[in-house]
C-alpha cells in the first residue's frame, strides 16, 4: 500500500544470517557429510573416517589426519566468511573444494557442533549449538581434525520435517562419500553406521601405483567389480580441455545414472550440459532409460570454468560449453569405436 512508511534497515544478527546461509548450504545430512569430507581433503588428509547414526540426523562424525587448525584460529573456523583457502582476490584459481567459509558456521547454526583440531603442536576444541559459540578450550587430539555434528536441524524444525527416512538419508550419504572417494584415489575413506549393530557402509584403502591405475582401481571399488573389464579408456584433448578416464560399455549399462561420475578439475560435478553430452554420446547404443557407468575427468584451465555457481549443488558453468559438449561426445564415441562399438553419429573433430 502507498501508505507504508519506511522501516529502518538493519544488519542481521550473525546467528540469523548464518541460519539463512545454512538453508542454502545444508539441505540434508548428506550435504553436511560432503562439506566435512571436502574440508578434510582440503587439509591434505590421507585417511578419513566417517561415522553416522540415524541417517546422519543424530550423529555425523568426520575424523581426518590432515593439517589441523592452529590453536589460536579454531574460533575463526566457525566465523562466517572466514576461510584459509582463498586470498580474497581471485575466484578463478580455486584449487580447493571449499572457498566460501560458510559450511562450519552454517552447520553450527542448525545443529550441535563440536570441532576438535590439532596442528601437531596443541589441540583445541570449540562447541556451537544453534549458533551459540562456547569459548575454545584445550583438548587432546593427534594432528588432524574431528568434527562431530549432532541433532541436525533441531534448531530449524521446518527443515527437519523435509528429511526422508533414515534409510534414504543414509543412502544419500553413501552416494556422496563414494563420489568423493572416486575423486581422490590416494585417500583412504571409511563410512560406517554406529548403532547397536555397527555397519560398515563403504571402505577404500589408499590406491597405490601410477595415477591411471589408482583411478581405475578406485573406480572398481566405488562403481563395482567388473567395471574395468566392461569399460574403455578415454583420452582426448581440445582447445585446452582434456578428458580422461573410463567409459562403460553399452552392454554393461544400468537402469540408473548413479554410476555416472564426472569430475571437473577434480571436483565431482552433476551438470545438465555434461549429462546431455553423455546421453548424446550413447544415443546410438542405449535407450534413454539406460545409463553407462563411467568415471571421467575433465581438466581445463581454471579460467574456463566457474565453480562458484551454487554452494550445495554440483553445477559448474563453462566458458565454452559447445567445446565441452563436442569433446565429451567425440571422445566417448571414439573410445567405443576403438573397442568395436560403431556409432552412426557423424563425428566432429
Ligand atoms: P571453507 O572450506 O569454505 O574455507 P568452512 O566453513 O568449511 O569454509 O571451513 C572454514 C575453515 O576452517 C577452513 O577454511 C579451514 O581453514 C578450517 N577447517 C575446516 N575444517 C577443517 C579440517 N578438517 N582440517 C583443517 N582445517 C579445517
Ligand atoms: Mg569447507
Q: Is the predicted pLDDT of residue 5 greater than 50, yes or no?
A: yes
Closest CA to ligand 1's atom 25 = 68
Ion ligand 2: residues, CB within 5 A, are: 39, 98, 103
80 C-beta closer than 6 A to ligand 1 = no
CA of 249 to the centre of ligand 2 (A): 36
Q: What is the mean pLDDT of residues 268-282?
A: 95
CA of 99 to the centre of ligand 2 (A): 7
Query: For residue 273, which phi and psi values (nearest 5 degrees)?
Result: -60, -45
| pLDDT, the chain, mean | 92
18 C-beta closer than 6 A to ligand 1 = no
Give the pLDDT confidence score for residue 349 in this predicted structure.
42
CA of 39 to the centre of ligand 2 (A): 5
Ligand nearest to the CA of 108: 1
62 C-beta closer than 6 A to ligand 1 = no
Please give the ipTM for the structure prediction.
Answer: 0.99
Are the C-beta atoms of residues 143 and 131 closer than 8 Å to each other? no
Range list of β-strands (E), 160-269? 188-193, 199-204, 231-238, 241-248, 260-264, 267-269
Q: Please choose from 17, 18, 98 the residue to mutate so as to test ligand 1's pocket, defined by most ligand atoms within 8 A of CB.
A: 98
Closest CA to ligand 1's atom 23 = 40
Scan for cell 578416464, then name that residue: 245
Give Cα 221 to chain centroid, integer Å. Answer: 18
Ligand nearest to the CA of 74: 1
Q: Is the predicted pLDDT of residue 223 greater than 90, yes or no?
A: yes
75 C-beta closer than 6 A to ligand 1 = no
Q: Which pLDDT band, with edges at 50, 70 and 90, does 311 fall under? A: confident
Give Cα 96 to chain centroid, integer Å. Answer: 11
Q: What is the mean pLDDT of residues 261-290?
A: 94
Out of 3.40.50.280, 1.20.1290.10, 3.30.230.10, 3.90.1720.10, select the CATH number for domain 211-338. Answer: 3.30.230.10
In the chain, what are the domain boundaries? 14-204, 211-338
148 C-beta closer than 6 A to ligand 1 = no
What is the domain class of 14-204 according to CATH? alpha beta
Beta bridge partners of 145: 64, 117
85 C-beta closer than 6 A to ligand 1 = yes
Ligand 1 closest atom vs CA 62:
23
Q: Please choose from 32, 84, 86 the residue to mutate so as to test ligand 1's pocket, defined by most ligand atoms within 8 A of CB.
A: 84
Ligand nearest to the CA of 107: 1
Least confident of 42-56, 81-95, 282-296: 81-95
Give the pLDDT confidence score for residue 144 in this predicted structure.
98
146 C-beta closer than 6 A to ligand 1 = no
Are the C-beta atoms of residues 234 and 332 closer than 8 Å to each other? yes
Are the C-beta atoms of residues 299 and 241 closer than 8 Å to each other? yes
Are the C-beta atoms of residues 158 and 19 closer than 8 Å to each other? no
Closest CA to 196 of 53, 56, 33, 61: 53
Least confident of 127-131, 242-246, 312-316, 325-329: 312-316
Which has more pLDDT, 311 or 306? 306
CA of 2 to the centre of ligand 2 (A): 45
What does pTM read for this prediction?
0.93
Closest CA to ligand 1's atom 12 = 77
Model confidence over 141-158: pLDDT tens digits?
Answer: 999 999 999 999 998 988
CA-CA-CA-CA dihedral for 174, 51, 31, 202, to nearest 10: -20
40 C-beta closer than 6 A to ligand 1 = yes
66 C-beta closer than 6 A to ligand 1 = yes
Q: Which pLDDT band, with edges at 50, 70 and 90, does 110 fall under? A: very high
Amino acid at each position: 500500500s502507498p501508505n507504508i512508511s519506511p522501516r529502518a534497515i538493519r544488519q542481521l544478527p550473525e546467528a540469523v544470517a548464518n541460519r539463512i546461509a545454512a538453508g542454502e548450504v545444508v539441505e540434508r545430512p548428506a550435504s553436511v557429510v560432503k562439506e566435512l569430507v571436502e574440508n578434510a581433503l582440503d587439509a591434505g588428509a590421507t585417511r578419513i573416517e566417517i561415522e553416522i547414526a540415524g541417517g546422519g540426523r543424530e550423529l555425523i562424525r568426520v575424523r581426518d589426519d590432515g593439517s589441523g587448525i592452529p590453536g589460536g584460529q579454531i574460533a575463526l573456523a566457525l566465523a562466517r566468511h572466514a576461510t584459509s583457502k582463498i586470498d580474497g582476490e581471485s575466484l578463478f584459481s580455486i584449487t580447493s573444494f571449499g572457498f566460501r567459509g560458510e559450511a562450519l558456521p552454517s552447520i553450527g547454526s542448525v545443529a550441535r557442533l563440536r570441532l576438535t583440531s590439532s596442528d601437531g603442536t596443541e589441540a583445541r576444541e570449540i562447541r556451537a549449538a544453534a549458533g551459540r559459540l562456547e569459548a575454545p578450550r584445550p583438548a587432546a587430539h593427534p594432528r588432524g581434525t574431528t568434527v562431530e555434528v549432532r541433532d541436525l536441524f533441531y534448531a530449524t524444525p521446518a527443515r527437519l520435517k523435509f528429511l526422508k527416512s533414515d534409510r534414504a538419508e543414509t543412502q544419500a550419504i553413501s552416494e556422496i562419500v563414494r563420489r568423493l572417494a572416486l575423486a581422490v584415489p590416494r585417500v583412504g575413506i571409511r563410512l560406517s553406521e554406529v548403532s547397536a549393530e555397527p555397519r560398515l557402509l563403504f571402505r577404500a584403502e589408499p590406491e597405490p601405483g601410477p595415477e591411471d591405475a589408482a583411478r581405475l582401481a578406485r573406480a572398481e571399488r566405488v562403481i563395482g567389480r567388473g567395471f574395468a573389464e566392461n569399460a574403455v579408456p578415454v583420452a582426448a584433448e581440445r582447445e585446452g580441455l582434456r578428458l580422461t578416464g573410463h567409459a562403460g560399455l553399452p552392454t554393461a549399462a544400468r537402469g540408473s545414472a548413479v554410476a555416472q561420475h564426472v569430475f571437473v578439475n577434480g571436483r565431482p560435478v552433476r551438470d545438465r550440459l555434461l549429462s546431455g553430452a553423455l546421453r548424446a554420446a550413447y544415443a546410438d547404443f542405449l535407450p534413454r532409460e539406460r545409463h553407462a557407468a563411467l568415471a571421467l575427468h575433465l581438466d581445463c584451465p581454471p579460467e574456463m570454468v566457474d565453480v562458484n555457481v551454487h554452494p550445495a549443488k554440483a553445477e559448474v558453468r563453462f566458458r565454452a560449453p559447445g567445446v565441452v559438449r563436442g569433446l565429451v561426445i567425440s571422445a566417448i564415441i571414439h573410445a567405443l569405436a576403438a573397442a568395436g562399438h560403431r556409432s552412426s553419429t557423424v563425428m566432429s573433430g
